[in-house]
Amino acid sequence: MKNHAEDFEQAIQQDITIEPKNWMPEAYRKTLIRQIGQHGHSEIIGMLPEGNWITRAPTLKRKAVLLAKVQDEAGHGLYLYSAAETLGADRDDMMDKLIAGRMKYSSIFNYPTLSWADVAAIGWLVDGAAIVNQVALCRTSYGPYARAMVRICKEESFHQRQGFEAMMQLANGTPEQKQMAQDAVNRYWWPALMMFGPNDDNSPNSAQSMAWKIKRFSNDELRQKFVDNTVPQVLQLGLTVPDEKLHFNEETGHYEFGEINWEEFFAVIAGKGPCNQERIDARRKAWEGGKWVRESAAVYAQKQQAQQQSKKVA
Ligand code: FAQ
């Protein structure tokens, strides 16, 4: 066991990825299943706020783009569930835990999409925040997670750009459209900052996850990167950031921003956000409604396997 632990530590120090068949500490495995599972659930639940607007997209082009984006998110969820399965996690078990409220998903998807501009804001701000976090995860220490992230980031970059473009059209439109865009920024700015998790001094998992190189940057470092990237984009659109304390610090070269409402964040992740119940109900309905499909597929797969085995014996 000692040699295994030493080999694992050495691989981490030398930036050699840990692969499914390598020995790993049980706590490393558990942390990864928690994070990858939560990440997968976020992609799947994340389909709901935007999916809500597929039938109401303003043009055929916007509808086609949105359909493709939502479908991409489903694919991301499936890569991530597969990555968690390489660690011994069971997909049905993860889904049961999500529905029972014993596994989390990103706080951001518990907010409603009240107007079309909210859909644009999700593409621009939420995918934008997701990319900042996920680019860092492309170098995470667990191989299957890192490789899934490379592929996911390519698609998220497209999502972010289409969101910005949709927002730009609104910001350059009629005064009513511009106001709609501003309202969406007002609603989504702070929840997007919360996506990076609690401040570093209040993040119980960070120290160990950084030591194992699961996380390469801290929650606050990534949040700062997102703010620095995004404020110039808001200004370019002729919109404002809903933060009176926001200002550029010439000395550090960073934007300084106001205090996040952590009470709101912790309430949302405890299940008390505006849409938590609705999201879980929708997921439960889909999971229960799809039971017969999963059972039929399992019976079919068993029959195929039995046929192949009997052919081999013959
Ligand atoms: N929401 O000690 P830390 C997307 C929990 S993908 C809910 O700092 P950690 C694509 C955390 O789990 C978005 N819970 O935790 C898309 C922990 O609770 P636990 C998802 C949160 O893990 C776009 C507790 O608080 N991305 O958007 C959140 O070291 C558009 C203490 O926190 C990922 O999941 C939160 N925001 O750092 C889809 C990225 N923050 O588990 C559709 C991968 C924290 O101990 C449309 N995950 N918590 O009970 C990560 O990088 C990390 O897990 C963090 C949290 C940074 C989220």
pLDDT tens for 107-151 read 999 999 999 999 999 999 999 999 999 999 999 999 999 999 999
CB 216 less than 6 A from any atom of ligand 1: no
Query: What pLDDT, on the 0 to 100 scale, is given for residue 1?
Result: 53
Which amino acid is it at 83?
A: A
The gap from C-alpha 69 to its chain's centroid, in whole angstroms, comes to 14
Radius of gyration of the chain (CA): 21
Mean pLDDT of 54-79: 97
| Atom nearest to 205 CA in ligand 1 | 2
Mean pLDDT of 161-186: 98
Sign of the CA dihedral running 45, 163, 139, 226: negative
The alpha carbon of 309 and the centre of ligand 1 are apart by a number of angstroms equal to 44
Contact 35, 219 (CB under 8 A): no
Q: Which of 93, 100, 97, 92 is nearest to 298 (CA)?
A: 92
The alpha carbon of 196 and the centre of ligand 1 are apart by a number of angstroms equal to 7
The alpha carbon of 135 and the centre of ligand 1 are apart by a number of angstroms equal to 15
Q: How large a percentage of the chain has pLDDT more than 70?
A: 99
| Atom nearest to 35 CA in ligand 1 | 53
Kindly report the pTM of this predicted structure: 0.96
In testing the pocket of ligand 1, which one of 45, 188, 205, 208 has its CB within 8 Å of the most ligand atoms? 205
| pLDDT for residue 312 is more than 90 | no
| pLDDT for residue 245 is more than 80 | yes
Query: What pLDDT, on the 0 to 100 scale, is given for residue 2?
Result: 62
Question: Where does residue 128 rank: exposed (0-12), middle (13-18), buried (19+ CB within 10 A)?
Answer: buried
CA distance 216 to 139: 7
| pLDDT for residue 42 is more than 60 | yes
CB 87 less than 6 A from any atom of ligand 1: no
Query: What pLDDT, on the 0 to 100 scale, is given for residue 133?
Result: 97
CA distance 45 to 90: 18
Among left, alpha and beta (phi > 0; psi -120 to 50; other), residue 248 is beta
CB 22 less than 6 A from any atom of ligand 1: no
Contact 171, 235 (CB under 8 A): no
| pLDDT for residue 176 is more than 70 | yes
Mean pLDDT of 175-188: 98
The gap from C-alpha 115 to its chain's centroid, in whole angstroms, comes to 22
CB 195 less than 6 A from any atom of ligand 1: yes
CB 122 less than 6 A from any atom of ligand 1: yes
In testing the pocket of ligand 1, which one of 31, 33, 35, 103 has its CB within 8 Å of the most ligand atoms? 35
CA distance 227 to 232: 9
Tokens describing residue 251: 């000395």
| Atom nearest to 204 CA in ligand 1 | 2
Residue 163 dihedral angles phi and psi, to the nearest 5°: -65, -45
Query: What pLDDT, on the 0 to 100 scale, is given for residue 68?
Result: 97
Which amino acid is it at 81?
A: Y
CA distance 172 to 167: 9
| Atom nearest to 123 CA in ligand 1 | 30
| pLDDT for residue 280 is more than 70 | yes
Angle (nearest 5°) at CA 272 between 244 and 231: 25
User: What band does 314 get if pLDDT is binned at 50, 70 and 90?
Assistant: confident
CA distance 152 to 127: 11
